[in-house]
Amino acid sequence: MPKITEPKVKKTPKSSMSKSLGLLRGFKDILPADQSYWRFIQEAAESFYRGYGFAKIDPPILEEASLFVRSIGKQTDIVEKEMFSFADQGQGLVVLRPEATASIARAYINHGMINLPQPVKLFYWGPMFRRERPQSGRQRQFHQFGFEILGDPNPVIDAQIIGIVASFFQQIGLDQISIQVNSIGCPTCRKVYLQELVTYYRSKRKSLCEDCKKRLTKNPLRLLDCKNQSCQLVRTEAPQIVDWLDEECKNHFMKVVGYLDELNIAYILNPYLVRGLDYYTRTVFEVWPKEIKEGAQSALCGGGRYDGLIEMLGGRPTPAAGVAIGIERVITQLRAQEVEIPNYSQAEIFLAQIGDQAKVKALQLFEQLRRGNIRVAENFAKDSLKAQLELANKIGVRYALILGQKEVMDGTILIRDMESGVQEIIDFNKTVNELKKKLANGNSN
Ligand code: HAM
């Protein structure tokens, strides 16, 4: 008989066994305390996509790497160094999506959406992944929601999308923002502009940072985006793309800003705004908080027109435009601008009980209150009334219901106003209705 030997398992050193496990760099838990902000934004976003006639789409989180290489561009930071990618057996290289516009364009082609009435208006919400250097406002997993309008070249679409985000930020109470707008033309006029830009920057090569020296050959448009002080000085004299737009691109841009003026949407023309993804044509824009913290990444959203993307991915030529809003950054701004948001999880009442019989009745009553959409806090494991009322106070409920031996016998229950301390005896069977009335009165005060 062959000798059976135990497989050799490397022993984990004691020290690392006891070490608690942490989060991966750039990844965060969304804690219960944050959930009110998430729900607040989600409810606003959902009312917007429905109100503006968008249909929701949920593309998968994992996609073929080539989708993003072809769309975002080989020479961009995202594709060059920021994709979480791995080889999947039989499926080649796959990535956790760094953004969703490319997936939307793929879905538009895959599902023959060109046959639907145009334009097709799609909304999405979900996590994105970029292996960037984490810093304030920049995570490796972050969340976006986005609006994409596919199938129409009209500049009114660009203005409408900018209008949607302006109105969104206004509705959620973020008014300290600025909308930055630019046009980066079409591939034809941009080509001529880029030659001019490179000639200018070459003449200033000595003053450029190492990254910009590489950008001269790899991605010259991004020269305008550099945060290095010396490069920003060079930029002040650089040729501006608006002066190089061809007739059609110029007209398109004039119309976009014309609509924004008509709609009274305040914006700043920013000749240096170029965006970090290669698929854009003509209009590009971002929304920034008015006060930008030193060193923090702060664009709240970014978008623009991408007329060549669907064709680049193998579809028929289809103009399109869209925007994606960064949820974590919006939450940071809501906090910074001290915007009051509803506290959805706040319990409205506390259900206290004393004695075994009362406990059983309280458990049943809890179920009725929950079905009546009343948010109830409790601690059925506690017996002391004092301890339960202290907890009710801590939670900050408006009313406490108290159910003791006597109330069980009488078929009644006590309602205690936690602010005034006044207590009232009511019929047990009328608890839900009485509470609803009291809460409605309280809320309208
Ligand atoms: P983006 O500018 O790369 O555009 O991202 C949009 C927004 O997502 C940013 O303005 C920011 O709020 C948020 N964001 C991006 N990266 C991070 C990060 N590492 N950490 C936290 N938040 C981040 C796009 O993704 C395009 N797909 C937008 C678009 C839609 N263009 C046309 N349609």
Each residue's pLDDT tens digit, 140-164: 999 999 999 999 999 999 999 999 9
Ligand 1 centre and the CA of 128: distance in Å? Answer: 9
Name which of 300, 293, 295 is nearest 327 in CA terms: 300
Each residue's pLDDT tens digit, 211-258: 999 999 988 999 998 989 999 999 999 999 999 999 999 999 999 999
Q: Residue 402: CB partners within 8 Å, gap ≥ 6? A: 352, 353, 354, 385, 413, 414, 415, 416, 423
Ligand 1 touching residue 299 (CB < 6 A): yes
Residue for token digits 């939450």? Answer: 331
Residue closest by Cα to atom 2 of ligand 1: 302
- Report whether the peptide linkage leading into residue 119 is cis, meaning its omega lies within 30 degrees of zero: yes
The gap from C-alpha 209 to its chain's centroid, in whole angstroms, comes to 32
Mutate to test the pocket of ligand 1, among 72, 82, 138, 142 (most ligand atoms within 8 A of CB): 142
Mutate to test the pocket of ligand 1, among 305, 329, 331 (most ligand atoms within 8 A of CB): 329
**Which residues are 322's β-sheet partners?**
148, 304
* 3-class DSSP state of 355: coil
Q: What count of other Cβ atoms lies within 10 Å of the Cβ of residue 320?
A: 26
How many residues are there in the chain?
Answer: 445
User: Domains plus CATH for the chain?
Assistant: 32-186+246-336 (3.30.930.10), 349-436 (3.40.50.800)
CA distance 118 to 152: 7
SS3 readout for 268-308: EECCCCCCCCCCCCCEEEEEEECCCCCCCCCCCEEEEECCC
10-residue averages of pLDDT along the chain (445 residues)? 50 61 96 94 98 98 96 90 92 95 98 98 98 95 98 98 98 95 97 95 94 92 91 94 96 98 97 93 96 75 98 97 98 95 89 96 97 96 95 95 97 96 96 94 58
Name which of 444, 429, 443, 445 is nearest 375 in CA terms: 443
For the CA of 325, the closest atom of ligand 1 is 7
Q: How far apart are the first and last CA of the chain?
A: 86
